[in-house]
Structure 1
Amino acid sequence: MSDEFQGVDLIGDVHGCAISLCLLLDRMGYRRIDGVYQHPVRKAVFIGDIVDRGPHIREALHVVRAMVEAGQAEIIMGNHEYNLLCYLTPKADGSGYLREHTPRHQRILQQTLDQFSGHQSELDDYLDWFMQLPLFLENDRFRAVHACWHQALIDRFRAEQGSNHIDKAFLERSAVQDSFEWEVMDRLLRGTHLRLPNNEVIVSKDGFKRHFFRTKFWAESPERMGDVVFQPDPLPEHIARMPLNAEQRSDLLCYGPDQKLLFMGHYWCEGVPVPLTDNIACLDFSAVKYGKLVAYRLDDEKVLRKDKFVWVDVAREVGRMDTEMGC
């Protein structure tokens, strides 16, 4: 962040909720000047996942990109930007695409594909822009990543890439499961997870069958599976009570309380936004499911404060308006 900005407003997953985004920016004192939302002394940071699911994806992208290109915001890549890139990028050998065209993948991306129908050149331009997005941000005050800060992977990534950006070769290699590139994108953009025992399956609220569950990467001394689960869909009680074994523990991380403030999205939280710990905040509160579009207004505090969250309650304040009009 340059010295001209006194504060930073970190904004969670937008997912095409353009009206909610405009209301949130307005609530924080940003004003649209010459087509760009800007604040006299503050800068925005978007935590990724601008695309997919919502009603006004192109409009939301326009708002965000205009701010970034005018120097009024920064943005990191979310798993949905990455998924779209892979879904539309052919493999070098011509055998298909980097992300398989399955019904499940198609369903997740369908809103984006539909809304860009007839606007192929615009979509291509956004895909080029996505390739320029960093995977993470770090400065003296805070860190930001879409799903999980994995220090060892980030250190190796920086050493090999020389920056916090991917390139076309890295993108192609990331489609090879269990490669270093695949692990980077899986951990940083999707987080940590554990396999459900005994081949059990959870059916999520959105109808997907899941063999894994998302886990906390800040639990210091977890004993049972229920101590580390971090997702809207609860574990069955008999699984939650199961003790963690040595192999499962080895898959977990612990972002300690002595590390920098960390901001992320991705996890579909519910309820009233509060810090997860003194130094970790999740900003994804399911805006596109009529939850909340959330920001954290960071100044010079060293410990996160619940009064620094601000949000738009989509169900109450926007309702069905986001399905009927543009921003």
Structure 2
Amino acid sequence: MTTRARLEGYDLIGDVHGCGATLAALLEKMGYHQRGGVYRHPRRRVIFLGDLIDRGPRIRLAVQIARRMVEEGEARIVMGNHEYNALAYCHRAPTGLGREWLREHTPRNNRIIKETLEQFRDHPQEWEEALAWFMEIPLCLEEGGLRVVHACWDQPLIDELRRRRPDGCMDETFLIESTAPGTGAFRILDRLTRGTQMPLPLGVEIHSGDGFTRRSFRTHFWAQSPETWGDVVFQHDNLPGDLELRPLSDEERTRLAHYGPDEPPLFIGHYWCEGIPALPAPNVACLDYSAVKFGRLVAYRWSGERELNADHFVWLRVPREEQVRPRPWEITFE
């Protein structure tokens, strides 16, 4: 009997953000064990939802685990906005763009990638290999009755992506174009890895729990006939004042993607949820539960069901000890 014939389902894992030790523990909890330096399960495979890197203390370990599993056929992965940001940050801009790097090295962008670069600082070849692997990661997956994307499933943009890149992956030309607002590649990358955002009124800001000041808020894409901002907001930060009651304008509605209740099960990350994992819609599961902020590293054990079941969530709380910088011999799991 072939491995494919024995496959029971997929274990989808949300944003790891460098919590590599907790990732290893979660895999062990779900029955995965190391053989030949790779976590394996006799009857199941993993799908990572992106954002392996940045912020956490064991970023190299997280990348090592995921990359080895993917390369050995034990896992798949979709692109997160943090892997994309790393690619653009580390890629020199072509002559004539008026900047040195595709993603400018501003204080804000430097801060986001700081931990990743520091942890790979003494391993430059490993970092170059990781960047090359990031370029091989597709922006979305659709297989066997489920769909996976980091932030937002927008069918017209996914159709456009597949026309341009049938494998769903970027090449260098697509990467360069994606950093230019208004281009097709920018719209695809922005929507699939960052989702939709609604600008706040002039002069209104959100001082987020992650230390950044934001002038927009994240929205979801499965509300049926939304009427107000409160019907579509999807983030852990509350909207200031009474903005949740503000009616959606016709122009704002056109910005929103929509994922209907009859669509296949969809798995996303990205949105920094908090508390006990729950389903925002019967066919949508968000698996980002703020692992790197001492939240939960969450998986969903999918075995072919069309209507998702909250009982299929599995998670581990991220202990504060995870946030202590590892000693050198703790970085690798070999």
SS at the partner of 1:3?
A: helix
Alignment length (residue pairs) = 324
| Number of the residue aligned with 1:73 | 75
> Given the alignment, which residue of 272, 277, 289 partners 1:273?
277
> Given the alignment, which residue of 112, 134, 142 partners 1:130?
134
Superposed CA deviations along residues 244-297 of structure 1, whole A, max 9, x for unmatched, are 111111111220000010001000000110111110000000000000000000
| Number of the residue aligned with 2:324 | 323
**CA RMSD between the two structures:** 1.3
Residue 127 of structure 2 aligns with an amino acid whose one-letter code is: L
- Percent sequence identity is 49
| Number of the residue aligned with 1:303 | 307
Between the aligned partners of 1:199 and 1:254, the Cα distance in structure 2 is 29
Residue 286 of structure 1 aligns with an amino acid whose one-letter code is: S
Between the aligned partners of 1:79 and 1:205, the Cα distance in structure 2 is 19
Q: Which runs of 5+ in 1 are unaligned?
A: none
> Given the alignment, which residue of 27, 30, 34 partners 1:28?
30
8 Å contact kept, 1:19–1:322: no
> Given the alignment, which residue of 64, 70, 75 partners 2:66?
64
| Number of the residue aligned with 2:231 | 227
| Number of the residue aligned with 1:119 | 123
8 Å contact kept, 1:18–1:322: no
Name the CA shift for 1:303/1:81 in 2 (closer, same or farther; >3 Å): same
8 Å contact kept, 1:45–1:73: yes
1:44 Cα deviation after fit: 0.4
1:324 Cα deviation after fit: 4.8
Between the aligned partners of 2:152 and 2:5, the Cα distance in structure 1 is 28
Between the aligned partners of 1:198 and 1:321, the Cα distance in structure 2 is 39
1:55 Cα deviation after fit: 0.1
Q: Give the alignment's TM-score, normalised by structure 1.
A: 0.96
> Given the alignment, which residue of 249, 255, 261 partners 1:251?
255
Residue 266 of structure 1 aligns with an amino acid whose one-letter code is: H
1:321 Cα deviation after fit: 4.0
8 Å contact kept, 1:148–1:187: yes
Q: Give the alignment's TM-score, normalised by structure 2.
A: 0.94
8 Å contact kept, 1:262–1:280: yes
Between the aligned partners of 1:184 and 1:46, the Cα distance in structure 2 is 20
8 Å contact kept, 2:19–2:322: no
Between the aligned partners of 2:143 and 2:211, the Cα distance in structure 1 is 39
| Number of the residue aligned with 1:191 | 195
8 Å contact kept, 1:13–1:49: yes
SS at the partner of 2:64?
A: helix
Range with bigger deviation, 94-103 or 176-185: 94-103
Between the aligned partners of 1:92 and 1:5, the Cα distance in structure 2 is 45
Structure 1 stretches of 4+ with a deviation exceeding 6 A read none
8 Å contact kept, 1:147–1:265: yes
1:33 Cα deviation after fit: 0.9
| Number of the residue aligned with 2:90 | 88
